[in-house]
């Protein structure tokens, strides 16, 4: 099984379609290109999840103009994916004994991620327990807090605001040239 890298110009093809069908046309163009170069039928071209997301990322009207992909043939099927992701993933369906081939590197990476996730979860649980203990201790230490009375400046501001509210709204000048006082 040999992997090949391709840089596919999708713009040439998706410009032939209406703008709301461009991403769909890009997918079909990608399948046609891979089927032509890997010598398999279009029905046997399988596009990877990440490549599909990359094409549809900006919506159906604006797919990327060029895409770099890697492709490999296995069991007369061409698998296509972005170069930084594994080509094959094992899919087990209950009731069926069939499974797709698996990339060994991807499996070890997934196992490592699971182990690190378990460690992270344990650390988070420990941190939460410590935080709860600290809060509980703080509550024991501070039974009653003294409520401070408002300062004199705050009281004076309140008095000024109340006086303004009693006077009501003051209308500005009438717009006449010789008007000197505002009308209440």
For residue 114, the model assigns a pLDDT of: 78
Most confidently modeled range among 7-11, 110-114, 155-159, 171-175: 7-11
Please say whether the beta carbons of 26 and 66 come within 8 A. Answer: no
Judged by average pLDDT, the poorest of 7-16, 52-61, 101-110 is 101-110
Pairwise pLDDT comparison (11 vs 122), residue with the higher score:
11
- The residue-averaged pLDDT of 157-164 equals 79
Confidence tier at 48 by pLDDT (50, 70, 90)? very high
User: What percent of the chain has a predicted confidence (pLDDT) above 90?
Assistant: 44
| Domain extents in the chain | 4-103
Query: Of the candidates 2, 25, 5, which has an alpha carbon nearest to the alpha carbon of residue 68?
Result: 5
User: Rounded mean pLDDT of 67-84?
Assistant: 94
Whether the predicted pLDDT of 127 surpasses 80: yes
Domain range 4-103, CATH class: alpha beta
Top-confidence residue, 157 or 43: 43
Q: Is the pLDDT of residue 40 over 70?
A: yes
Considering only CA atoms, which of 56, 2, 48, 54 is closest in space to residue 24? Answer: 56
Which two tokens mark 29? 């163009």
Q: CB-based contacts of 54: which residues, under 8 Å, 6+ apart? A: 64, 67, 82
CA 151 to chain centre: 49
More confidently predicted of 133 and 48: 48
Asked whether the whole model's pTM tops 0.75, one would answer: no
Instruction: Place 23 in a pLDDT band, splitting at 50, 70 and 90.
Output: very high
Burial label for 136, CB within 10 Å (0-12, 13-18, 19+), is exposed
């Amino acid at each position: 099984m040999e992997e090949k890298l391709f840089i596919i110009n999708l713009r040439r093809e998706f410009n032939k379609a209406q703008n709301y069908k461009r991403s769909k046309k890009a997918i079909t163009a990608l399948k046609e290109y891979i089927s032509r170069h890997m010598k398999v039928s279009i029905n046997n071209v399988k596009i990877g999840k990440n490549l599909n997301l990359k094409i549809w990322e900006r919506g159906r009207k604006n797919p990327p103009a060029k895409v770099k992909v890697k492709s490999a043939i296995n069991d007369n099927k061409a698998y296509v994916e972005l170069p930084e992701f594994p080509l094959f993933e094992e899919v087990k369906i209950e009731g069926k004994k069939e499974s797709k081939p698996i990339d060994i590197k991807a499996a070890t990476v997934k196992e490592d991620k699971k182990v690190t996730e378990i460690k992270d979860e344990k650390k988070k649980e420990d941190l939460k327990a410590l935080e709860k203990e600290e809060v509980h201790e703080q509550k024991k230490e501070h039974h009653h807090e003294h409520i401070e009375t408002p300062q004199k400046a705050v009281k004076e501001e309140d008095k000024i605001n109340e006086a303004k509210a009693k006077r009501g709204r003051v209308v500005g000048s009438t717009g006449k040239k010789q008007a000197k006082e505002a009308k209440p």
